[in-house]
Structure 1
Amino acid sequence: MNLAYAFTSNPQRHEGVRPFNIWGLRLFYFLMLIFVAPVAFQGLLTHEGPWDPVRAVTVCVWAAYPSLAVFGLVHPLRWLPLMFFTIVYKALWLGFIALPLWQAGTLAGSPAEEIANAFIGIPLMAAVVPWGYAYRTYVRWPRGNATQLLPNPAA
């Protein structure tokens, strides 16, 4: 395979998004599936006793998003919001939990260190997101007649 092909857009497939991004997204969806889902489902299936409600939400979210990653393997662009969710929650956790611990010199050796090490790869996740496509699809108002988007009151 030609390396240049991986970094050029293909208008016929994937709405002009480069193969590098498509395969990078698929890689991260796959990694979510094989690394996060087993741990989360093990926590759900082996838990004994009453749940702490906040802990239960955490475990259920950790079971849900990698389960949905299965769909991202097949349709990587349709499931791009799952990548946004993953990047944002990890960035928030690093900024609000890990960073203060690190600044205080207490991150190393703490229970948060292992999670911080797992989350530190978010720049790689962000690197495979096709940000131009994301902007065109999720942010920019569609071009054309805006009245086409409004319901027809006569109908």
Structure 2
Amino acid sequence: MNESKPTAKMNEVSLFRLYLLRSLYLFIVVGLAIVRWPDVIQLVFYQEKPYELMEGVVICMLASFSVLLILGLRYPLQMIPLLLWELVWKSIWLISVALPLWTAGQMDEATWAMAYACLFVLIVPFCIPWRYVFAHYVKKRGDRWR
């Protein structure tokens, strides 16, 4: 079978780009450690009254996200799909939720806070090695189905 493979040049990601990815992973991990891990600790050890359903889901998802991003420090290229997920969900939320509220002049304080937090996603596209992503997720032949 002739399986199309990306060329060696397309596979190359500069050391600078790898450190840029690692820096982004570390930035997100530290940010979530400061903002969300205290909530996890409180949830597990000190919570007298349970969180509401979605609040608990968000706390747990972001905590697991930060744990997985720690792997990005060692394997920056293999963890790119997590950054793509982050980029996509925040972009969808900003476009479909925040933008209509903002244009209608109906942004409340909580929505502004979420929009501000989501705007950090603007640094993600500058850190992702897009040639690598294109070569490995678009151009490369997918795994067989049978």
Runs of 4 or more, structure 1, over 6 Å off, are: none
Write the distance in 1 (CA, Å) between the matches of 2:58 and 2:101.
21
Query: Mapping of 1:131-146 within 5 angstroms?
Result: 131-142=130-141
- Say what the alpha-carbon RMSD is for the aligned residues: 2.5
Write the distance in 2 (CA, Å) between the matches of 1:36 and 1:97.
23
Relative distance call for 1:123 and 1:51 in structure 2 (3 A) is closer
Higher relative contact order (CA 8 A, sep 6+): 2
Q: Which runs of 5+ in 2 are unaligned?
A: 1-7
Q: In the alignment, which residue of structure 1 is the partner of 2:123? A: 124
Instruction: Work out whether residues 20 and 128 of structure 1, in 8 Å CA contact, stay in contact via their aligned partners in 2.
Output: no
Instruction: Work out whether residues 11 and 135 of structure 2, in 8 Å CA contact, stay in contact via their aligned partners in 1.
Output: no
TM-score w.r.t. length of structure 2: 0.79
Q: Which runs of 5+ in 1 are unaligned?
A: 1-10
TM-score w.r.t. length of structure 1: 0.75
Instruction: Work out whether residues 98 and 115 of structure 2, in 8 Å CA contact, stay in contact via their aligned partners in 1.
Output: yes
Counting helix residues as a fraction of each chain, which structure ranks higher?
2
Query: Mapping of 1:92-107 within 5 angstroms?
Result: 92-107=92-107
Q: In the alignment, which residue of structure 1 is the partner of 2:40? A: 44
Deviation of the 1:115 alpha carbon: 2.1
The number of residues matched between the two structures is 135
Relative distance call for 1:102 and 1:74 in structure 2 (3 A) is same
Q: Calculate percent identity across the aligned residue pairs.
A: 27
Moved more, 18-27 or 28-37: 18-27
